[in-house]
Amino acid sequence: MPYLGWRYTFPREGIAQYIEDAVRGVPTQVQWELDRRRANWILLPSRILHEAEGLDNPAFADTVHSINVYDQEFCLKALSDLERIIARLQQLPIPET
């Protein structure tokens, strides 16, 4: 199950909106969400957050494992999406502070 993370000590203002706008600008096969509740921001398929009931839930790893094993089609779609999201982020100019 692909997901992408960022770690910020002090994130610049507007960077979350920048990432979220970039993700919305890409046609995806699954829904994506940027979880910013911790020091590490994680961009991941919304399905994982909902099924695991959050990143803090001890069941998170089990949920990811279960989807990896039992829903390969979903994983392939998510991987394809993430490749497009990364390509989009690489094309965008870095926002000014």
Q: What is the pLDDT of residues 19-75, one digit of tens each?
A: 999 999 999 999 999 998 887 899 999 999 999 988 888 889 999 999 999 999 999
Which residue, 67, 37, 68, is CA-closest to 54?
A: 37
Residue at 74 is within a domain: yes
Residue 96 in any domain: the answer is: no
| Count of structural domains within the chain | 1
Residue 87 placed within a domain: yes
**13 lies in a domain?**
yes
| Domain limits for position 76 | 4-91
Residues 6+ apart with CB under 8 A from 91: none
Alpha carbons 78 and 10: distance in angstroms, whole number:
29
Q: With beta carbons less than 8 A apart as the criterion, state whether 65 and 78 touch.
A: no
DSSP bridge partners of 6: 41
Residue 97 falls inside a structural domain: no
Total-model pTM: 0.85
